[in-house]
Structure 1
Amino acid sequence: MSRIARAVLHEWRNVVVDPCRRLRERGPLGVSLAVVACVAVIGLHEFQQTAAGAGVVRVLSEVRADQPVWLSLLRTPVSVFVPAVDLSAWGGLPRLFLAFALAELLFGRVRTLVVAYAVTLAGTLGARVMIALGPDRLGLPAEAAHTVDTGASAAIVGLFAYTSVALRSPLLFLAAVVPTVSGSIAEPNLAGREHLVAVTVALILGVVLHRRGGGPGGGRRGGRREVARCQCPLPVSKAVDREVGHGREAGRGRELGRGGS
């Protein structure tokens, strides 16, 4: 089998076979976080279309760079599940579900939420830094501070990037991350720059958290945890030496007694 075929087979097992096996073992609860995320996006989108709901959603989730930092930190968790104004909520649901479901099955709910929030927050804070730098220093113009920054796109691309590094899956990275990065470079707006920051932070997290394990199992091979074996002899205490010596002397005494009888 060629090297390319082995790489494709390895990635197929990691990205498709192993998550499907875990889904079969856990059942629908294995992707409960992904389902909740999709329901939250649909619910907030529909609620935002009403007259009363628009104001409530704006107060709870509207994040802009011209706001105080503490206010943005409070609104960021809700802003992840509020679709951007210029994008369709239904078009991004498949990517949202796939990113959260794959990460949830492989890494668990807690780590999935931590990574999604970390990359989103990094993008939000990174946008403030780029606006402060200005367009002359590879930053963003001051008008970008008034742009409403909501949506799960940074969390989605960040989870895909993190999963790609954790599983060592270049094909997943090419299919799910590279198009977003290419679009962000071609159109350097606020959302594009945040996507680049999110991908960078996700790659760093993936390398740091999975540098030893080589996969989501982290130190497992074939589904079994490896047990480290000591290669050097351990020092024996003096008390143990004395007990062993007494035991040997007693044994010799019994042998001599039997020989004399």
Structure 2
Amino acid sequence: MKIKIDTLKQNYNAKEVQELTRTLEIHNIRAKAMQGLLKLEVDSSKRVENKLVILFDLQQAIPIPKLTTGPAFYCRKILYILGVHDCTNQSAEMTETFREELITGTQLKTVKIRSFICDSPARAFIKGVANFNSQNGCQKCTIVEQYSYVSHTNYYPRRICAKRTDYEFRQRLYDIHHKVYSPLLQLPIDMKQDVPIGDYLHLLDLGIMKRLLCALRDGNFGNYRTKWPARDTQDITEFLMNTKLPKEFHRKVRELDVLAFWKGLKFRTFMYYLGIVVLKHFLPSEVEHF
């Protein structure tokens, strides 16, 4: 809102500036009042036995950078991120919070964990298991990856393998897959189903797309017929550097010489937008099915 006020000041729109300034003042007054009320409730819970104070925080999840939030933004959202904070005791166990039912006014609410949404490193961390790129890092099945001296990576030797289960995970029957004890084991959840694997960033952006571009640039497919010549690499780099992206894309794609420093969003931009144009002219015939 402050940005809007500054913009209107530059356009000499005094009436709208006054209205927005008044709205901002009211918002700040209400925010301070709620913060004071929360502090009073937390202090009261320390004196009153069996009183629990929980704060519900509706968080934003803006899919496109620089997109303003408003009623239209929240109306078209399908999934809302809601943070639940136990304000009574910072060191309270999660088990006590999620096993009890909450009374809000005259209604009885049951709090239940739906799932834990994490990327690959965070998922391995909270479950206390091997990392996603290790030979025992698959969290869906018990397959053991093998190392390839051609691509210098781990790969899955077969497609069918025994699936992991919540019971076997809690019994720690997977040996090397387990690293440390996970506090999530204290919760009434399914350690396999409630921690889903859907890591778009590491599987596609920093996974397949990065591997494909590095292989085409350096010839890492084991066949140098798929390697881009130096001239093609230079032409692609010039195309990427001269491309003007809309303001919604806050990361501009860099040269192919620095693929190791590309962020995941840059690989996503190349895969969805720029790659459609570039690869049509420079993709070798051996991999044209991509």
Instruction: Pick 1 or 2: higher relative contact order, CA cutoff 8 A, min separation 6.
Output: 1
Q: Could you say whether these structures have the same fold, taking a TM-score greater than 0.5 normalized by the shorter chain as the test? A: no
Structure having the larger proportion of residues in helix: 1
Which TM-score applies when normalising by structure 1?
Answer: 0.23
> TM-score normalised to the size of structure 2?
0.21
Q: Whose strand fraction is larger, Structure 1's or Structure 2's? A: 2
